[in-house]
Amino acid sequence: MSKKTSSHHTNAINSVHTLWRSLLDEPKNKKYFVASMLLHVVVIFLLLFSWESSKELKILKVPNSIQAHVLSLEEIQMLQKMKQAEQKKLSDSKKKKKDLKRKKLEDKKKKLKLKKKKEADKKKAAKRKADQAEKIRIKKKKQKQKAQQQKKQLEQEKNEKAALAKQKQADEKRTAREQRLLDKLKLLEARELKQLELLEKAKNAEVLSQQRADKDFELSEVERFILLIRAKIESRWHIPPKLKGKGLSFDLRINLLPTGELVSARVIKSSGKIALDQSAENAAISVRRYPVPEGSAIFEGNFRQFTLRFSP
């Protein structure tokens, strides 16, 4: 091996050793370290290949374009600063993009929040409007119900007044009818007095005249007590208003005891209106004791069982 080859080999080893020490001081420059290592490996490989060749040693000339350059510590630090600057620039760019993205996201969230707020306000306004409409509807409904209730109450009062007026009219008619009956009784009493006077005058008359006078007295007694019994029934009789003045009539059969107590009262010939027949029976049954003559002969012949005709 020639001295020149050995010298080249020594220089290469020294260069690698220097590069190695510089890289060990700054382990961050891995990229440059790898490039330098590859370049030196290539040089070492070429040197070894030339050293192990057989007879002739060919000296290879390194082209001018291929040059190995050992970076100094200042250059490595400069490269590191440049790399840090680029990394900072890239980091700033990423941060700027991230901030821009975050700002857009925040703007989007604000718009969405504003949209939701507008929708919520719109819903609240619609709800307030619906509640107001519902209140108005309920108020109108209550007013309508109140008006209907007042109308119903007025109609009820009107009907009650009409019923009271009808009742008053019926009472007045019944009073007038009772007054007429009293007038008839007074007339009968006057007739009886007159007949008594006639009887006193005819004490010494013939037997036929006496019998005729007795018969007339008996008939007047029967008629008087019939009127009294009829008046008792009519005073308690509530005739259905719709059946008055219809030209209806019926026969009422009455059974009495000698004391005047009622045994039975029923319609034996109907008027054709059940309500009218029933009202007359109820009126007759409500009278527990009727006026009857004291003479048993007159009672047995006329008031034990008798029939009255009514035409309301």
pLDDT band at residue 259, thresholds of 50, 70 and 90?
A: very high
CB 251 within 8 A of CB 223: no
Would residue 116 count as lying in a domain?
A: no
pLDDT band at residue 8, thresholds of 50, 70 and 90?
A: low
Residue 128 has pLDDT above 50, yes or no: yes
Largest CA-CA distance found in the chain, in angstroms, rounded: 216
Q: Residue 262 gets which letter from DSSP?
A: E
Region of 56 please: left (phi>0), alpha (psi -120 to 50) or beta.
Answer: beta
pLDDT of residue 213: 46
Residue 122 has pLDDT above 70, yes or no: yes
Cα–Cα distance, 187 to 284 (Å, whole number): 25
- Structural domain including 295 reads 202-310
Would residue 289 count as lying in a domain?
A: yes
pLDDT of residue 63: 54
Q: Residue 242 gets which letter from DSSP?
A: G
Alpha helices per DSSP H over 73-206: 73-201
The domain tally of the chain equals 2
CB 292 within 8 A of CB 260: yes
pLDDT of residue 44: 80
Residue 218 has pLDDT above 90, yes or no: no
Cα–Cα distance, 45 to 304 (Å, whole number): 168
pLDDT band at residue 280, thresholds of 50, 70 and 90?
A: very high
Would residue 153 count as lying in a domain?
A: no
* Mean local confidence (pLDDT), 149-168: 87
Tell me the pLDDT tens digit for each residue of 186-203: 887 777 777 677 667 656
pLDDT band at residue 257, thresholds of 50, 70 and 90?
A: very high
Contacts of 240 (CB under 8 A, 6+ apart): 273, 275, 276, 279
Would residue 149 count as lying in a domain?
A: no
* Mean local confidence (pLDDT), 293-310: 91
Burial of 290 (0-12, 13-18, 19+ CB in 10 A): buried
Quote the tokens at residue 211: 């019998």
Quote the tokens at residue 200: 């006193």
Question: What count of Cα atoms within 13 Å lies in the side-chain half-sphere of residue 141?
Answer: 6
Would residue 160 count as lying in a domain?
A: no
Q: pTM of the prediction?
A: 0.33
CA dihedral 207, 208, 212, 218 (to 10 degrees): 40
Find the range with the poorest average confidence among 125-129, 180-184, 231-235, 273-277.
Answer: 180-184
- Considering 38, 71, 104, which residue would you say is the last residue of a domain? 71
Tell me the pLDDT tens digit for each residue of 61-84: 555 555 556 667 888 888 888 888
Find the range with the poorest average confidence among 15-24, 93-102, 136-145, 298-307.
Answer: 15-24
Quote the tokens at residue 37: 């290592």
Domain CATH code at residue 210 = 3.30.1150.10
- Considering 71, 106, 128, which residue would you say is the last residue of a domain? 71
Quote the tokens at residue 121: 């306000």
The top-scoring range by mean pLDDT among 14-28, 127-141, 209-223 is 127-141
- Considering 17, 45, 71, which residue would you say is the last residue of a domain? 71
CB 262 within 8 A of CB 284: yes
CA dihedral 20, 25, 27, 30 (to 10 degrees): -40
* Mean local confidence (pLDDT), 239-243: 84
Residue 47 has pLDDT above 90, yes or no: no
* Mean local confidence (pLDDT), 125-154: 90
Cα–Cα distance, 45 to 39 (Å, whole number): 10
CA 106 remoteness from chain centre? 47
pLDDT above 70 covers what percent of the chain? 74
